[in-house]
Amino acid sequence: KLNIDVDTIQHGVEGLVYLLTESSKLMISEVDFQDSVHVLGFSDELNKSLLQLYLDNRKEIRSILGELAPRLPSYHSLEWRLDVQLASRTLRQQIKPAVTMKLHLNQNEDPTAQVLQTDPATLLHLIQQLEQALGEMKMNHCRRIVRNMK
């Protein structure tokens, strides 16, 4: 009826969905939303309609996005054991350490357990990488990103 290409309509709808979901995720203010839409070059009447659409639906969009978010398991406890093989039939003088860990998780209120085994060198490398990641989370740039994600 509109004599418009299907791809044009599809891209327009996808753009509108992206605008509303990202604005709702960040919970931007009315002024910020108007500034974002004003750059697109729409008429004032259309800008007001988009603002009203955003204000009317942002809570519902946030709740839907919250339901669609993956439910990740959460940490409950950790059991660990250090095993050392000192000798075998073929090698009488060997030292082969291994760290065995049982990681207890809660996923959707259901307890699960994962058994992991590694050597101490790999475990030390993993600890260093995690400490580095925690250090980076203390940087201002990361704090700003995390604050906007909430």
Residues in contact with 28: Cβ distance below 8 Å, sequence separation at least 6, in sequence order: 36
pLDDT tens-digit series, residues 40-96: 888 889 889 999 999 999 899 988 888 887 788 889 999 999 999 888 878 878 888
pLDDT tens-digit series, residues 3-46: 888 888 899 899 889 989 988 888 888 888 888 888 888 888 98
Report the predicted TM-score, pTM, of the whole model to 2 decimal places. 0.50
Residue pair 147/132 in contact (Cβ under 8 Å)? The answer is: no
Cα-to-chain-centroid distance, residue 69: 9
Burial of 40 (0-12, 13-18, 19+ CB in 10 A): exposed
Half-sphere exposure of 77 (CA within 13 A, CB side): 3
**What's the chain's Rg over C-alpha atoms?**
26
Distance, CA of 120 to CA of 102 (rounded, Å)? 16
